[in-house]
């Protein structure tokens, strides 16, 4: 996976229902002077994204990274599954908000479309994002007008920007770790992805702040600014990219079964995400997303600690292995001066 394709892969999993509609951006950056917290959040997003890509490359993907947690791998895997369900529910709730009169037809169609790409694995997700992400970014830039970088209202001084970076990375972590196995230059892809997300977030928030309180208090603030059916289609496509990435972890977990059991497990997975989405986008963004953000930060720190501890232990094992290999088992270059020391007696076989 090249740099550009890798960056679009990351962005596609980030720009979902909450991002492109402005709902989660207003929730996490709803205080005055949002620019500095947003830049800091995107910088942290870059660091954590690269961390999980590197871990995936080092340990051979998501399953390999889980192994470093030993007995705690089951708990970590359970946390990822729960996070994936919450993210998927947010995407499905966003689809229903686009056309409330069609509820729940759009969310059901979204699940069906996701299955098509999930059956193709990482390659299907990558191709979907490669095609749709440029369209989504173009839509955001087109509808972003008269940006305002300051909104005079009282906001919480709590560092929600930390939680926003942790939330997005935790949503994407399993996909990032699997993608890291084949990504050529993960640090460049992570940087370009963070830069693109930052520019898009500035456009969305700046437009919403300029529109005022009427847009800020809407369920989908940026959709209120970019009023039109064309942008609603772009929002639907953005939701699809994140929905596919979110469902990747629980959908792939069903592959441990075979035959009818696997089909039934996948059906139950999709049904569970659909049922959770009935909470609604505003409820999920308001109450569940901050919790996921805290869990993402905690898990990122945990990964760094476990990786370092495992690395030290691994180094001791490999250093001894290398010493053992060098002890009398190396192949040295034979030169003419060494021939004098060769015993010339040739053993003969017995009858």
**What pLDDT sits at residue 3?**
86
State the residue range of the domain holding 237. Answer: 3-325
Task: With CA atoms as reference, report the closest residue to 233 among 88, 89, 99, 93.
Answer: 99
- What's the total number of domains in the chain? 1
Residue 337 belongs to some domain of the structure: no
User: How distant is the alpha carbon of residue 285 from its chain centre?
Assistant: 17
CA distance 297 to 163: 7
Residue 86 lies in a domain: yes
Task: Please report which residue ranges of 121-185 form alpha helices under DSSP H.
Answer: 121-143, 160-179
- CA dist., res. 169 & res. 50, Å (int): 10
Which residues of the chain carry a pLDDT beneath 70? 30-34, 149-157, 228, 310-351
pLDDT digits (tens, 9 = 90+) for 53-88: 999 999 888 888 888 888 888 888 888 888 888 888
Q: Evaluate whether residue 13 is within a structural domain.
A: yes
Please report, to the nearest 10 degrees, the dihedral formed by the alpha carbons of residues 206, 208, 211, 217 taken in order.
Answer: -150
Asked if the structure places residue 351 within a domain, the reply is: no
Looking up tokens 């992400």, which residue turns up? Answer: 133
DSSP character at residue 101: G
Residues 272-328 pLDDT 10s: 888 888 887 777 777 777 788 888 888 888 888 877 776 544 444 444 444 444 444
Nearest residue to 204 via CA among 25, 6, 11: 25
**Residue 343 is assigned to a structural domain of this protein:** no
Structure confidence at residue 320 (pLDDT): 42
Q: What is the DSSP letter of 345?
A: -
pTM: 0.77
Q: Which residues contact 68 (CB under 8 A, 6 or more apart)?
A: 59, 306, 307, 310
Residue 344 inside a domain? The answer is: no
pLDDT at 33: 64
Phi and psi, residue 330, nearest 5°: -80, 155
Whether 340 maps to a domain, the answer reads no
Residue 65 corresponds to which tokens in the numbers above?
A: 């990274």
pLDDT at 11: 92
What CATH number does the domain containing 71 carry? 1.10.4160.10
DSSP symbols for 28-75: HS-SS--HHHHHHHHHHHHHHHHHHHHHHHHHTSHHHHHHTTGGGHHH
List C-alpha distances in Å: 347 to 28, 297, 351: 82, 69, 13
Cα–Cα distance, 207 to 226 (Å, whole number) = 9
For residue 155, is it within any domain?
yes
């Amino acid at each position: 996976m090249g740099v550009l394709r890798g960056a679009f892969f990351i962005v596609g999993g980030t720009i979902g229902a909450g991002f492109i509609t402005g709902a989660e951006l207003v929730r996490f950056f709803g205080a005055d002077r949002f620019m500095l917290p947003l830049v800091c959040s995107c910088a942290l997003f870059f660091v954590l994204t690269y961390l999980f890509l590197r871990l995936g490359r080092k340990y051979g993907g998501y399953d390999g990274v889980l192994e470093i947690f030993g007995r705690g791998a089951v708990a970590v895997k359970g946390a990822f599954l729960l996070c994936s369900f919450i993210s998927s529910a947010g995407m499905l709730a966003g689809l229903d908000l686009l056309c409330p009169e069609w509820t729940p037809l759009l969310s059901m169609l979204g699940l069906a479309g996701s299955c098509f790409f999930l059956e193709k694995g990482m390659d299907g997700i990558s191709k979907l994002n490669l095609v749709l992400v440029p369209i989504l970014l173009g839509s955001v830039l087109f509808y972003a007008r008269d940006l305002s970088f300051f909104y005079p209202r009282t906001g919480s001084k709590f560092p929600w920007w930390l939680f926003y970076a942790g939330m997005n990375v935790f949503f994407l972590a399993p996909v990032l770790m699997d993608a890291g196995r084949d990504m050529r230059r993960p640090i460049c892809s992570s940087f370009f992805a963070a830069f693109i997300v930052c520019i898009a977030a500035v456009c969305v928030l700046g437009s919403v702040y300029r529109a005022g309180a009427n847009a800020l208090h809407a369920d989908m603030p940026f959709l209120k600014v970019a009023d039109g059916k064309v942008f609603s289609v772009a929002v639907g496509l953005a939701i699809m990219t994140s929905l596919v990435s979110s469902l990747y972890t629980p959908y792939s977990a069903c592959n441990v079964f075979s035959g009818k059991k696997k089909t039934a497990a996948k059906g139950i997975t999709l049904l569970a995400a659909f049922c959770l989405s009935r909470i609604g986008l505003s409820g999920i963004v308001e109450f569940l997303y901050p919790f996921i953000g805290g869990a993402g930060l905690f898990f990122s720190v945990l990964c760094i600690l476990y990786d370092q501890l495992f690395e030290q232990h691994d180094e001791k094992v490999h250093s001894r292995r290398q010493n053992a290999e060098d002890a009398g088992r190396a192949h040295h270059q034979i030169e003419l001066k060494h021939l004098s020391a060769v015993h010339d007696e040739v053993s003969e076989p017995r009858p």
